[in-house]
Structure 1
Amino acid sequence: MIHPSLLKKQRILLAALALLIVLTIIIALGLGRSTVTFDRILPILLGQGSFKENFVLFSIRMPRILVTLLAGMALALSGAILQGITRNDLADPGIIGINSGAGVAIAVFFLFIPIDAGSFVYLLPVIAFFGASVTAVLIYIFSYRKQTGVQPIQLVLTGVGFSLALSGLMIVLISSAERTKVDFIAKWLAGNIWGTDWPFIWALLPWLVVLIPFTLYKANRLNLLAISEPVAIGVGVSIGKERIVLLGTAVALAASAVAVTGGISFVGLMAPHIAKALIGPRNQLFLPIAILIGGWLLLFADTIGHNILDPSGLPAGIMVSLIGAPYFLYLLLKK
């Protein structure tokens, strides 16, 4: 039973974060090389804009904003799941190799397989999910011990090793590729938001529509796994099965996000921590808050990075890393 005061606090935090996201979206809509003044945003949204204003807002800025927001939500939830099943506060899909696995699959697909432009967008999350899943399975196998099963710390350390190995493989793959394709992969590795059109939103949205409610449904199982294995076993939880199902959910969320945003780390690390600090470690309470924090964090980083330098700006992945690396070191020293 959750105390009513905590539920009230959660609603207040969710409302405050929703307002913060709306304000950031308004700022992002008004910033850029094509001038759209803030006082014109509402009339344009209500259908009273010129052709140029409609094109700038609805064809250029709005898709990028929504893709970034949804990807941040997916990465935050993926990180929260990984931290729960590994009982390690440093777990993140970018740190333990899941993003790297998705990246290698996308690189192979992009470099060596003939691509039909019409299906490319919708195939990317599937390709990324395949690569991330193979990586997750290999990490699981290499961290498994016959006597003790899969221990959380072993899972994380194995994932870090795979992340480094896959980063090396990515360099080998692109070293002999065409210049134009190398440029795309390089931008992907830097976390450059490249999926900035409406089809990318439709490619990403179904994954979140299915997996966010599923994860919230599994919140109590995550609570038990995060406490200890004996407690989970004592109340009848099948640890191996639940861990595999939740790991698959985390992989799917991370893969769908990085397929359209590039290799972005630290969002899945920071958002769950901030949410837990605000309302506590119970998954039913902090998961919705972490989802909104992750969406806002990536949107904020991309808005700043996209407008800070001319002509192409600074990739969101680099901006998030500038924030996340010191936070990671703080957690490492604290824990």
Structure 2
Amino acid sequence: MIESKVKVKRRVALLISSVILLICIILNLMTGEYRMTFQQVWQTLLGFGDSASQLILVEFRLPRLMITLFAGIALSLSGAILQGVTRNALAEPGILGINAGSGFAIALFIAIGQIKADDFVYMLPLVSLIGGLVVTLFLFYFSYEGKKGLSPESMVLVGIGLSAALSGGALTLVSSFDKSQSEFISAWLAGNIWGDTWPFVWAFLPWLVIIIPVILYKAETLNILNTDDTIAVALGVSLNRQRVILVLAAILLSSVAVSVAGAIGFIGLMGPHIARSIIGPRHQSFLPLAMIIGGILLVVSDNIGQVLLQPNGLPAGVIAAIIGAPYFLYLMYRVRQF
């Protein structure tokens, strides 16, 4: 009976969140400097819109929306994986410095090669991944405390320190950039959705198609890893192997997301926690909801940013930080209480 209630609760939560996400998507397509009605959006999507609507919606707003949605999904799922593997309620790609590592690698790549980011669309995820991996190695090395293993508190402190240092390093590199490159990296560090054309969508999509099914398949493993190591070993789980696989998947997701959407933080923190509070701690149940909530959070942040300051708007990363920072402090308080 209890299992049946959980299933019903899960379906209701997924249905309601999907409807909310659909509403946010429609509002995103309607808002902007050139406002469109719902009827205009619908007609244009069906191929019956005028040339201006077709250009604005299909060539500008739709790819931006898809990048924003994909990034929200990827960051939320990445945060859920890191929280499960490290058993750290505060683990998140931005807080742990992974996003800053990706940003520094991209800035260094542009500075050394004296190139424009738009010319290397399909290289940016790889460069971003290398930066994220290097930061993760440092993070694990400085957070490992002998028999205690990885310390959650140390991970957060080390991650914040690495994030500050690498963000400063990226800004230092800006001095060697020309005007267009400086504008790009500044917008990237602020969390501006810059990769808003179709090539970026096609560069992002395959990573999600490959990684999401793997993580959903590993949901039970995440449940086990989130318990005590002794229990996990008794159940036949290879701790080191599974942790490496899952952490690598988390870094891949966050690195690809930030490579095209900028240094956006807190989505990976809020999405999993909100989903877990609604459905419960089982990864099979809350991971799909966490992905939807992550998409909602970033799409809403982008919507608010576009409405608040016309015509250029505020970066979605700034809005996400304004929402996420108080939530982070609240979680810090709760963690200290327990």
TM-score (norm 1): 0.95
For the 8 Å contact 1:267–1:320, the answer to whether it is kept is: yes
Shift of 1:76: 0.1
Shift of 1:144: 3.4
Instruction: Tell me, in whole angstroms, the C-alpha distance in 2 between the residues paired with 1:245 and 1:163.
Output: 23
For 1:79, the equivalent position in structure 2 comes to 79
For 1:140, the equivalent position in structure 2 comes to 140
Instruction: Tell me, in whole angstroms, the C-alpha distance in 2 between the residues paired with 1:301 and 1:116.
Output: 27
CA RMSD of aligned residues (A): 1.8
Tell me the alpha carbon deviations over residues 267-294 of structure 1, each in whole angstroms, 9 at most, x when there is no partner.
Answer: 0000000001100011000000000000
Question: Which letter maps to 1:48?
Answer: F
Instruction: Tell me, in whole angstroms, the C-alpha distance in 2 between the residues paired with 1:189 and 1:61.
Output: 22
Question: Which letter maps to 1:150?
Answer: L
Gap regions ≥5 residues in structure 1: none
Q: In the alignment, is residue 91 of structure 1 matched against residue 70 of structure 2?
A: no
For 2:202, the equivalent position in structure 1 comes to 202
For 1:164, the equivalent position in structure 2 comes to 164
For 1:113, the equivalent position in structure 2 comes to 113
Instruction: Tell me, in whole angstroms, the C-alpha distance in 2 between the residues paired with 1:321 and 1:204.
Output: 23
Question: Which letter maps to 1:301?
Answer: S
Tell me the alpha carbon deviations over residues 231-287 of structure 1, each in whole angstroms, 9 at most, x when there is no partner.
Answer: 112212121221111111110000000001100000000000000110001100000
Shift of 1:120: 1.1
Question: Which letter maps to 2:290?
Answer: A
For the 8 Å contact 2:33–2:310, the answer to whether it is kept is: no
Instruction: Tell me, in whole angstroms, the C-alpha distance in 2 between the residues paired with 1:2 and 1:136.
Output: 40
Instruction: Please give the residue correspondences for 1:119-130 in structure 2 after superposition, counting only pairs within 5 Å.
Output: 120-130=120-130
Moved more, 255-264 or 227-236: 227-236
For 1:308, the equivalent position in structure 2 comes to 308
For the 8 Å contact 1:102–1:130, the answer to whether it is kept is: yes
Instruction: Please give the residue correspondences for 1:258-269 in structure 2 after superposition, counting only pairs within 5 Å.
Output: 258-269=258-269
- Label 1:89 to 1:150 Cα distance change in 2 as closer, same or farther (>3 A): closer
For the 8 Å contact 2:116–2:181, the answer to whether it is kept is: no
Q: In the alignment, is residue 155 of structure 1 matched against residue 175 of structure 2?
A: no
Shift of 1:303: 0.9
Instruction: Tell me, in whole angstroms, the C-alpha distance in 2 between the residues paired with 1:148 and 1:326.
Output: 30
Instruction: Please give the residue correspondences for 1:32-111 in structure 2 after superposition, counting only pairs within 5 Å.
Output: 32-111=32-111
Question: Which letter maps to 1:141?
Answer: Y
Shift of 1:34: 1.7
For 1:218, the equivalent position in structure 2 comes to 218
Instruction: Tell me, in whole angstroms, the C-alpha distance in 2 between the residues paired with 1:118 and 1:162.
Output: 27
Question: Which letter maps to 1:17?
Answer: S
Instruction: Tell me, in whole angstroms, the C-alpha distance in 2 between the residues paired with 1:162 and 1:34.
Output: 41
Instruction: Tell me, in whole angstroms, the C-alpha distance in 2 between the residues paired with 1:157 and 1:322.
Output: 20
For the 8 Å contact 1:72–1:296, the answer to whether it is kept is: yes
Question: Which letter maps to 1:282?
Answer: R
For 1:183, the equivalent position in structure 2 comes to 183
Moved more, 288-297 or 160-169: 160-169
Q: In the alignment, is residue 192 of structure 1 matched against residue 210 of structure 2?
A: no
Corresponding residue pairs, total = 335
Shift of 1:36: 2.1
Q: What secondary structure sits across from 1:94 in the alignment?
A: coil
Shift of 1:103: 0.3
Q: What secondary structure sits across from 2:62 in the alignment?
A: helix
Shift of 1:118: 7.3
For the 8 Å contact 1:85–1:152, the answer to whether it is kept is: no
